[in-house]
Structure 1
Amino acid sequence: MKWEDSKKGYENYLRLEKSLSQNSIAAYINDINKLVEFLEKNFKKIAPDKVKLSHLKSFVEWLNERGVSPRTQARTISGIKSFYKYLLIEGKINSDPTALLESPKIGRKLPDILTMEEIDSLIEAIDLEKAEGQRNKAMLETLYSCGLRVSELVNLKLTNLFFDQGFVKIEGKADKERLVPVSNRAIEEINKYLKGYRKTLKISKESENVLFLNRRGRKLSRVMIFTIIKNLADKIGLEKKISPHTFRHSFATHLINGGADLRAVQEMLGHESILTTEIYTHLDRDYLRSTIHQFHPRS
């Protein structure tokens, strides 16, 4: 059994049977590549079906020595377990060497969030004199209004905008669709972008139905969204390390702190399990701090 053949079959399995996005597939294949890199350095040419638990334990130790965080280790081990589960299903191996492989214990990390004032400051820092300014404003309002993943934002389609009903249709992970309410402010900024900057572009045929476009009339890359947000954070001197996902975290936290039903937030975020949504039930840290200062006898 060869690694390249096994990886190719696994990739097809993830695409066709699991219906994963290309980004998710790339992450899983990268996990396998890390294992292959380690095995080639330490155990010569060992085939996928010859890997044993002892090899995998050595691999985890190797990740530790390289300073890989427990969270990243856990995600990598999860990818390798998925690969060997595939080999077992396909009958390419008789026993799963990952069955007794343990992942490092990790705590649930609370996501960083932005305050309403910080979100307003970021959006106000957008230079509307620049051609793409209105597009950027519309994108950030949409990110925060709908709690989208960055991949969902760049793939948002014109035919999935239902502004008369106050909704947008989102194509999420594994091609699962959901309807998400959109704010009047986001609708207003999107319409300004559609009537202005977008009309000036020479749009490529494959991007005609894509909402947010670059200056070449093509779909924006995920990296471009990160860059836009980073530059705005630098412009206002924001010390928090933020990304497009920070707007999603802020959307969920602000809703729940405002009294929104957890199930409703789960539906809007497109979480398969409500356990994933529950991380947003943490109280606002400023509120906690002020409560302690006000009521704790040692304060």
Structure 2
Amino acid sequence: MKWDNALKDYQLYLKIERGLSKNSIDSYVLDVNKLIKYLDAHSIKISPIAIDAETIQHFIYELAKTVNARSQSRIISGLRSFFSYLIFEDYRTDNPLELIESPKTGRKLPDTLAEAEIDALINAIDLSKPEGERNRAMLETLYGCGLRVSELIQLKLSDLFFEEGFIKVTGKGDKQRFVPIVEATEKYIQIYRTQMRVHMNIKPGFEDTLFLNRRGKQLSRAMVFTIIKQLAEKIGLKKNISPHTFRHSFATHLLQNNADLRSIQLMLGHESITTTEIYVHLDKSHLKHVIETYHPRK
């Protein structure tokens, strides 16, 4: 079996069997391609079925010279998944990464914005420009609903259930969830729809897409990143922020205002509560408040 063939089969498996998004699949494939490039660079002729733990250990040793511990850990995890797939398909009987440990990385706490910083970013939007109302509606939706950037750009008009107070969000692996929407966010979406979007020349196939670029097509992830970076520069914000920062801020502010983790988990679309628990680490005062409020010995 050649690496190219194994990789193509693996991509189909990730898409069809595991239902992963294109971005997730691309990340897994990139991890395997790093190993393939290493083998090519060192003229190592060995198939994915025959490669052993020693060869992979040498690859990881070289990798450690150029990437940080967190990246190493992610690549090891991606390779472990690839070889688990080969075992699943009966190409191999063992996983060469089984005894290879990932480096200890610690738990990275996400960056967050204060409410005043979010207000400053949104207030910096130039509403005199045609895209101003769209940008305000997008940032309000990122923060008001805690969406991933991929979920934001995929939102449809048919996903808006304002009478019921919800929007339908398509998350990782095309899994759908309903997220409550506050009146303020709904208001800015409606302003964008009625004052800007309705006058646009929308390209065929994008009639139901909520947030459009100037050409009448779906916005790209990169464009949303650029919009936020430019606003941060405009107000002199020194933090390194991205669309995901609004999602982190959404969860953190809910927790600070005594929302329960299970509700936050459902709104964020986390499969495991342990993923949501990272927000507890952001605000130790919340834990102190819980003890002081609910413990019988308070």
TM-score calculated relative to the size of structure 1: 0.93
Is the 1:257–1:281 Cα contact (8 Å) retained in structure 2? no
Give the aligned residue type for 1:170.
V
What's 1:52 paired with? 52
Query: Which structure 2 segments of 5+ residues have no match?
Result: 288-298
Measured after TM superposition, the shift of residue 102 of structure 1 is 1.1
Larger mean Cα displacement after TM superposition, 41-50 or 52-61: 41-50
Measured after TM superposition, the shift of residue 45 of structure 1 is 2.0
Measured after TM superposition, the shift of residue 43 of structure 1 is 4.3
Pairs within 5 Å for 1:86-105: 86-105=85-104
Is the counterpart of residue 164 in structure 1 residue 157 in structure 2?
A: no
Larger mean Cα displacement after TM superposition, 165-174 or 37-46: 37-46
- Change in Cα spacing, 1:227 to 1:103, as seen in structure 2 (3 Å) is same
Find the aligned partners of 2:105 and 2:277 in 1 and give their Cα distance. 17
Is the 1:257–1:283 Cα contact (8 Å) retained in structure 2? no
Task: Map Cα deviations across residues 12-54 of structure 1 (whole Å, 9 max, x no partner).
Answer: 0000000011111111100000000111122422211121101
Give the root-mean-square deviation of aligned CA atoms.
Answer: 1.4
Is the 2:142–2:152 Cα contact (8 Å) retained in structure 1? yes
Tell me the secondary structure at the aligned position of residue 271 of structure 1.
coil
Is the counterpart of residue 108 in structure 1 residue 113 in structure 2?
A: no
Larger mean Cα displacement after TM superposition, 39-48 or 18-27: 39-48
Tell me the secondary structure at the aligned position of residue 131 of structure 1.
coil
What's 1:140 paired with? 139
- Change in Cα spacing, 1:227 to 1:119, as seen in structure 2 (3 Å) is same
Measured after TM superposition, the shift of residue 94 of structure 1 is 2.3
What's 2:151 paired with? 152
What's 1:129 paired with? 128
Sequence identity (%): 55
What's 1:15 paired with? 15
TM-score calculated relative to the size of structure 2: 0.94
Find the aligned partners of 1:124 and 1:113 in 2 and give their Cα distance. 18
Tell me the secondary structure at the aligned position of residue 34 of structure 1.
helix
Measured after TM superposition, the shift of residue 206 of structure 1 is 1.4
Give the aligned residue type for 2:168.
K
Aligned length: 287
What's 1:235 paired with? 234
Measured after TM superposition, the shift of residue 287 of structure 1 is 9.8
Measured after TM superposition, the shift of residue 286 of structure 1 is 9.7
Task: Map Cα deviations across residues 138-185 of structure 1 (whole Å, 9 max, x no partner).
Answer: 000000000000000000111110111111011111111111111111
Is the 1:15–1:25 Cα contact (8 Å) retained in structure 2? yes
Give the aligned residue type for 1:282.
H
Find the aligned partners of 2:150 and 2:4 in 1 and give their Cα distance. 28
Find the aligned partners of 2:272 and 2:205 in 1 and give their Cα distance. 34
What's 2:68 paired with? 69
What's 2:182 paired with? 183
Find the aligned partners of 2:228 and 2:85 in 1 and give their Cα distance. 38
Measured after TM superposition, the shift of residue 219 of structure 1 is 0.4
What's 2:41 paired with? 41
What's 2:208 paired with? 209
